[in-house]
C-alpha cells in the first residue's frame, strides 16, 4: 500500500526548504504562490497601519505561526501579544488578530487555512480579498468554522475585538 508521509512540525522545521513560501498543513507541505506586487503593497500598507495604530502590540509580517504538532503557517500579518518570541514560535493564544491578504490564494486561505485557524481558537481573522475589493472578517471560532462573518467594503470601519475602541477603515 502506498501512503503519503506526514511530517511533524519538528521534522518540517529541520527540512532544507526554501526560506519563504512553504507551509505545513496537518502534516502535508504546501508550496505557496509567489507574492505579486498588489499583494506585497497591501501587506506593507497594513503592516504600517497596524504598527502605527497598535503600538501596544507586536506586528509580525509574513512570519511563522505554529498550530499544534503538525501545522506551520505564515500568515501575512499577525497582531501579537507583546512578549519575547526569541525562544518559541507564536501560538494561537498569542494572536490578537490574524490577517491574510488574498489575490491568487483566496480559495486556499478560506478552504484550507481558515478551518485550521478556527480549530486552533484564533479569535479573529481578517482576509483582504484584493480581487473583489472587500474585507472578510471571521470571529468567534466554533470547531472548524467561525460563528460571525462580516463582508466589508472600502471605506467602512471596523475595530478588532482586541481593541474595540480603535476602529480601522477598510483600506484600498
94 in helix, strand or coil? helix
Does the residue 113 lie in any domain? yes
Tens digits of residue pLDDT in 64-75: 999 988 998 999
pLDDT band, very low/low/confident/very high, at 45 (cuts 50, 70, 90): very high
Range of the domain at 47: 34-169
- Decide if 26 is inside a domain: no
| Run of H or E residues at 49 | helix 37-53
DSSP secondary structure letters along 151-168: EE-TT-EE--TTSTT--E
Give domain status of residue 123, yes or no: yes
SS3 state at 131: coil
Assess whether pLDDT exceeds 90 at residue 13. no
Has residue 25 been placed in a domain? Answer: no
Position 72 in a domain: yes
Residue 8 maps to a domain = no
| Residue 38 belongs to a domain | yes
Number of domains in the chain: 1
In this prediction, residue 14 carries a pLDDT of 74
Biggest distance spanned by C-alpha atoms of the chain: 57
Cell matching residue 161 = 475585538
Task: Report which secondary-structure segment, H or E, holds 95.
Answer: strand 95-102
pTM over 0.85: yes
Q: Give a yes or no: residue 164 inside a domain.
A: yes
> What CATH number does the domain containing 135 carry?
3.90.1570.10
Amino acid at each position: 500500500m502506498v501512503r503519503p508521509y506526514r511530517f511533524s512540525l519538528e521534522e518540517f522545521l529541520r527540512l532544507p526548504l526554501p526560506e519563504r513560501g512553504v507551509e505545513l498543513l496537518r502534516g502535508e507541505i504546501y508550496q505557496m504562490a509567489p507574492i505579486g506586487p498588489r499583494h506585497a503593497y497591501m501587506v506593507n500598507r497594513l503592516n504600517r497601519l497596524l504598527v502605527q495604530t497598535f503600538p501596544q502590540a507586536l506586528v509580525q509580517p509574513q512570519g511563522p505561526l505554529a498550530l499544534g504538532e503538525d501545522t506551520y503557517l505564515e500568515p501575512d500579518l499577525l497582531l501579537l501579544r507583546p512578549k519575547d518570541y526569541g525562544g518559541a514560535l507564536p501560538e494561537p493564544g498569542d494572536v490578537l488578530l490574524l490577517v491574510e491578504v488574498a489575490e491568487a490564494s483566496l480559495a486556499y486561505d478560506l478552504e484550507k487555512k481558515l478551518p485550521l485557524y478556527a480549530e486552533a481558537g484564533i479569535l479573529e481573522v481578517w482576509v483582504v480579498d484584493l480581487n473583489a475589493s472587500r474585507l472578510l472578517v471571521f470571529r468567534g471560532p466554533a470547531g472548524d468554522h467561525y460563528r460571525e462573518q462580516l463582508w466589508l467594503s472600502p471605506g467602512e470601519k471596523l475595530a478588532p475585538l482586541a481593541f474595540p475602541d480603535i476602529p480601522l477603515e477598510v483600506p484600498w
